[in-house]
Structure 1
Amino acid sequence: MKILVTGANGLLGQKLTALLQQTVGITLVATARGKSVLPLTSGRFVPLDVTDGHAVEHVLATEKPDVIIHTAAMTQVDQCETEREQCWAANVTAVEHIVNACNRHAIHLVHVSTDFVFDGSHGPLDETEPPHPVNYYGESKLAAEQYIQRHATAGWAILRTVLVYGITNDMSRSNIVLWVKNSVEQGKTIQVVDDQWRTPTLAEDLAQGCYLAAAKRAQGIYHISGKDFLSPYQIALATADYFHLDKALIQATDSTRFTQPAKRPAKTGFTIEKARRELGYEPHSFPEGIAVLASQLSS
């Protein structure tokens, strides 16, 4: 099976690239804007700007993958709120280009979406919950989902995920676990919200979910996340516990204390029974996920 990955330089893209190179029977085509940040031991890297429809058509027509896993997106929630044209181009127009090319070349699409398509009124959520985003990032991701459902004729799966954490090869990105660890190790007092709830997702688990959906040519919407329903404050405490840090430096607060351009949904998180049942997906627990991250830091 030939799998093309977009956004290969991102956190999820790097984990997918590493996983697929090690998977027997998979030919990998990794794509991203610019040069690859991850050395490839198999497969190939092709530069691709997914907002360029001609480039998308050329690469997919040339490479002819069986499946495309689309991870490229603009995910900075506040930036999406203030730079809406750029957000729409990255998160919606790009998906339109990919869907149309997939249709022409009979390519199955696995598309990565987000819990931010929901309003946060309750959780955890299953795949039958009606979306209702509260910020522009969520609106753009929902619009992409709807375009796929209406127009993708060659087969599609939408994988929604939640609060992904992990380490990139070039250590270019932070996440809540690294932020807590680094801040408390430096003796900083940090305030962490305790009125939002998520099911934090290890990037390696999400990559595995994407591969399973691709290998099974899954059809429909799947919730792919961690299995522990936690507030950011609880995430911070668990991180401090694992690394034996001073939890007295971690203070609980509520989201009203922070001013951000984009509203965040208060409570999301996912139930993952459908993914377990149909894909064989089984994520790490959050403490196990921290251990994976810690082992990568030490190496």
Structure 2
Amino acid sequence: MRIMIIGASGQLGLELSRKLSNYELIKTFALHELSEGLRLDLTDYLSLEDFIIKKKPEIIINAAALTDVDRCEVEREKAFKINAEAVKHIVRASRVIEAYLIQISTDYVFDGNKGLYKEDDLPNPINYYGLTKLLGENYASSYDDTLIVRTSGVFRNKGFPVYVYKNLKEGKEVLAFKGFYSPISATKLAEVINELVTYKKTGIINIAGERISRYDLAQRIKELYNLSGKVIEVDRIEGWIAKRPFDSSLDISKAKKLVSIDFYSTDENLKHMVI
């Protein structure tokens, strides 16, 4: 089976390349060069469609996105082109070759007022990143053979858990935004997607870790690795531009019934933090 990983040089893309290595892979990158990868500009829409149609993958996993929340707030045109408009053209090409599409989305499509969001809860993004990802979802869902994977706080060699570990190890203070989410390692997320490609499910599914506050997660990392720094819970991080949802945690009960592995426990995910 031929699988195209769009965004193969990102945290999730790198892990997908490892977990899906038994398949014939077509790996693309935009900025960070990747061995055995092909450069693909997602904003050159004609070339994007042409590339997909000529390569004829049976499965497309779109793991590419502009995920810097504050940058999306400032560089709105670029965020829209990559996170939303590009998905429309990926879908157009997928229809032509009848490929199965997995679109990676985010908990930030929600406003964070409730938490433990289910797949059928009504999205209401409060920042531009969340809005562009929701628009991407809408384009993806217009194609019947699509699975939208909503996830949360993906980490590998970067992300909040890695920031916490590195700073606490150096004895520094760590600021933890007061709020909740459902962080998952790129490794565990890739393992789940490896299983999902065999099921060919469609619709929306939440694949994320357990609901936890950033403060509690930071304290868990401090205890787990016996680190010396201090964790301070704050209402806002200085320098932030975009609003953040207070509780964007995802309800993963649907995925727990479907997927055979433990992808959700905090300690299991922290094992795969690259430090």
TM-score over 0.5 for the pair: yes
Matched, 1:212 2:209: no
User: Corresponding residue for 2:186?
Assistant: 203
In the alignment, which of 222, 235, 242 is matched to residue 254 of structure 1?
Answer: 235
- The letter for the 2-side match of 1:202 is S
Matched, 1:111 2:103: yes
In the alignment, which of 254, 263, 272 is matched to residue 252 of structure 2?
Answer: 272
In the alignment, which of 237, 241, 246 is matched to residue 219 of structure 2?
Answer: 237
In the alignment, which of 164, 168, 188 is matched to residue 154 of structure 2?
Answer: 164
* Runs of 4+ with deviation above 4 angstroms: none
User: Corresponding residue for 1:223?
Assistant: 206
TM-score if structure 2 supplies the norm length? 0.94
- The letter for the 2-side match of 1:253 is V
User: Corresponding residue for 1:82?
Assistant: 74
| CA-to-aligned-CA distance 1:64-122 (integer Å, 9 cap, x gap) | 11110000011000000111001101111110110000011111110000000000001
Residues 33-182 of structure 1 mapped to structure 2, 5 A cutoff: 33-34=30-31, 36-37=33-34, 39=35, 44-150=36-142, 152-153=143-144, 155-167=145-157, 174-182=158-166
Assess if the C-alpha contact under 8 Å between 1:212 and 1:281 holds in 2: no
- Find the aligned partners of 2:198 and 2:138 in 1 and give their Cα distance: 23
- Find the aligned partners of 1:289 and 1:34 in 2 and give their Cα distance: 27
For these two proteins, the number of residue pairs brought into alignment is 275
C-alpha displacement of 1:284: 4.6
Assess if the C-alpha contact under 8 Å between 1:126 and 1:272 holds in 2: yes
Assess if the C-alpha contact under 8 Å between 2:171 and 2:227 holds in 1: no
Gaps of 5+ in 2: none
- The letter for the 1-side match of 2:243 is K
- The letter for the 1-side match of 2:234 is T
Q: Measured at CA, do residues 215 and 51 of structure 1 come closer, stay the same or move farther in structure 2, by a change above 3 Å?
A: farther
- The letter for the 2-side match of 1:6 is I
Matched, 1:287 2:267: yes
User: Corresponding residue for 1:170?
Assistant: none
Secondary structure (helix, strand or coil) at the match of 1:110 reads: strand
- Find the aligned partners of 2:113 and 2:221 in 1 and give their Cα distance: 27
- Find the aligned partners of 2:184 and 2:259 in 1 and give their Cα distance: 17
C-alpha displacement of 1:210: 2.2
Q: Measured at CA, do residues 183 and 20 of structure 1 come closer, stay the same or move farther in structure 2, by a change above 3 Å?
A: same
Secondary structure (helix, strand or coil) at the match of 1:262 reads: coil
C-alpha displacement of 1:199: 1.2
- How much is the aligned-residue C-alpha RMSD, in angstroms? 1.7
- The letter for the 1-side match of 2:235 is D
The sequence identity of aligned pairs, in percent, is 31
C-alpha displacement of 1:163: 0.5
Assess if the C-alpha contact under 8 Å between 2:170 and 2:228 holds in 1: no
Assess if the C-alpha contact under 8 Å between 1:8 and 1:36 holds in 2: no
Assess if the C-alpha contact under 8 Å between 2:8 and 2:28 holds in 1: yes
Gaps of 5+ in 1: 168-173
User: Corresponding residue for 2:173?
Assistant: 189
- Find the aligned partners of 1:34 and 1:251 in 2 and give their Cα distance: 35
Matched, 1:28 2:25: yes
Q: Measured at CA, do residues 98 and 122 of structure 1 come closer, stay the same or move farther in structure 2, by a change above 3 Å?
A: same
